[in-house]
Amino acid sequence: MTDKMIEISGVHKSFGSLEVLKGIDLTIAKGSVTVILGPSGSGKSTLLRTINHLEKVDRGHVRIDGELIGYRQDGARLHELPERQVLKQRANIGFVFQTFNLFPHLTALENVTEAIRKRPGAKDKASELLKKVGLADKEKAYPRQLSGGQQQRVAIARALALDPKLVLFDEPTSALDPELVGEVLDVMRDLAEAGTTMIVVTHEIGFAREAADSIVFLDGGRIVEQGPPAQVLDSPVHDRTRAFLSKVLT
∠ Cα 114 175 216 (to 5°): 95
Burial label, 154 (beta-carbon count in 10 A; 0-12, 13-18, 19+): buried
Q: What is the pLDDT of residue 78?
A: 85
Q: What is the mean pLDDT of each run of 10 residues along the chain (250 residues)?
A: 83 97 97 96 96 94 95 88 94 94 97 93 97 97 97 97 96 92 95 95 94 97 97 96 89
Q: Which residues pair with 4 in a beta bridge?
A: 29
Q: What is the pLDDT of residue 250?
A: 62
Where does 1-92+166-173+197-250 sit in CATH, by number?
3.40.50.300
Q: Which pTM was predicted?
A: 0.94
Q: What is the pLDDT of residue 168?
A: 98
Q: What is the pLDDT of residue 236?
A: 96
Burial label, 73 (beta-carbon count in 10 A; 0-12, 13-18, 19+): exposed
Residues of the chain with CATH 3.40.50.300: 1-92+166-173+197-250
Q: What is the DSSP string of 71-117?
A: EEEETTEEEEPPHHHHHHHHTTEEEE-SS----TTS-HHHHHHGGGT
The number of C-alpha atoms within 13 Å of 164 and in the hemisphere containing its C-beta is: 28
Q: What is the pLDDT of residue 133?
A: 97
36 membership: H or E segment, kind and range:
strand 33-37
